[in-house]
Structure 1
Amino acid sequence: MHIVAIVGSLRQGSMNRQLAEAARRTVLGLDPACRFTLLDWAGVPLFNEDDERPAPDAVARVREQVRDADGIWFFTPEYNHYFPGALKNLLDWLSRPVSAAEGQVLDGKPCAVSGISAGGSGTACAQDHLVTLVSFLNMDVMNKPRLTIPFGFSKMVGGALELGDSEPYLHAQAEAFLSHIARRSQR
């Protein structure tokens, strides 16, 4: 099984990137044979239909990684009660058909959504908006459990994320997502 994590923040030390790294450790603890890759999409340009075909190299690369994944796990911050515009841009690229013969790479792909934020909503608003979009793109959304961690700075110690009482919730979501992907592959 191969999970690709898409972190909505491009900042290398972001809380959501660290949450994705914690999820990787959790998943590998549950299933050491699983592959868990953090998608490197920093080079994806702004979407422009004039540049759509052929796709820019960075876009072709991320499309291939997403196509090859068995599941996508989103880790999104919340900016003004929404997910980041950069993540929306990535999804715009991924939602476009690769070719006349091949559709978009997100179609039917199982996905989970998590997030940590400095504020009290724990990315709940951003997650709802993201789920609306990926549902429209026909992704197979695992709606429960979701992980929303509020007041993220309280979990930062020396710049490193320490989940503490949120750890069991990440573990539960990881177990559920592995089962969600496995059920999908049996269809």
Structure 2
Amino acid sequence: MGKTKIVAIVGSLRKDSYNRQLALAAKAVVGDEAEFELIEFGDIPLMNQDIEFPAPEAVKRVREKIKEADGIWFFTPEYNHFFSGVLKNLLDWLSRPVSESEPPVLIGKPAAISGISPAMTGTAMAQDHLVTLISFLNMKVMNSPRLTIPSAMQQLNQEGKLELTTSAPFLEKQAKAFVEFIQQ
């Protein structure tokens, strides 16, 4: 068996989103313990059954990454007490069968959830909604530890880049737990 493969899905398309920066921090924490790749999915069209078969190339590309992954780590922002529409759209595509003979790619995949937000509540509500959806999609959810980081502005450096301070040990704990969770 090769090295554990983790695919990160960031629920924001913004180039320097706090959650993208958090995913990159997680990649650094994971280090050599696992392969870690951020999936780019800004080119995924809106879910539309009229174009489902054959799937658009962007959807095929992401599905292949998911199939190759041993675990999926979600980094979700919180928009109006929910996860983002772009993340929901991606999950709608990934929830569909690949073909008449091939099931959806998320079934049985281990999943972890993290999130950072400028709000005082962090991303707890968005994470709870996301757990509801991915549980319905039959993913294997690591419910604990989950990481929700509030008040993101307090963990930014002078250039406005994320530099985890008080949250760093919690990210390290979650990364270690997720690698173990996947390998069980």
Residue of structure 1 equivalent to 2:105: 105
Q: Deviations over 1:86-128 (max 9, x none)?
A: 1000000000000111100000000000000010111000000
Letter in 1 for 2:21: Q
Q: CA deviation at 1:156?
A: 1.4
The CA RMSD over aligned residues, in Å, is 0.6
Q: Are 1:18 and 2:21 matched, yes or no?
A: yes
- CA distance in 2 between partners of 1:11 and 1:159 (Å): 14
Matched, 1:77 2:77: yes
SS of 1:73 mapped into structure 2: strand
Q: 3-state SS of the aligned residue for 1:115?
A: strand
User: Which residues in structure 2 correspond to 1:4-153 (within 5 Å)?
Assistant: 4-28=7-31, 32=32, 34-153=34-153
Secondary structure at 1:127's aligned position in 2? helix
2:94 aligned partner, one-letter code: L
State the 1:33 CA deviation.
Answer: 5.3
How far did 1:15 drift?
Answer: 0.3
SS of residue matched to 2:179:
helix
* 5+ residue gaps, structure 2: none
The runs of at least 4 aligned residues of structure 1 exceeding 3 Å deviation read none
Q: TM-score, normalised by structure 2?
A: 0.97
Corresponding position: 1:170 with 2:171: yes
Normalising by structure 1, report the TM-score.
0.95
Secondary structure in 2 matching 1:106? coil
Q: SS state of the match for residue 169, structure 1?
A: helix
Gaps of 5+ in 1: none
The 8 Å contact of residues 44 and 90 in structure 2, kept in 1 or not, is answered as: yes
How far does the alpha carbon of each residue in 1:47-86 deviate from its partner, in whole angstroms, 9 at most, with x for none? 0000100000000000000111000000000000000011
SS state at 1:64 partner: helix
Q: Distance in 1 between matches of 2:16 and 2:10?
A: 11
Q: Distance in 1 between matches of 2:169 and 2:34?
A: 20
Number of aligned residue pairs: give it.
180
Question: Match for residue 181 of structure 1?
Answer: 182
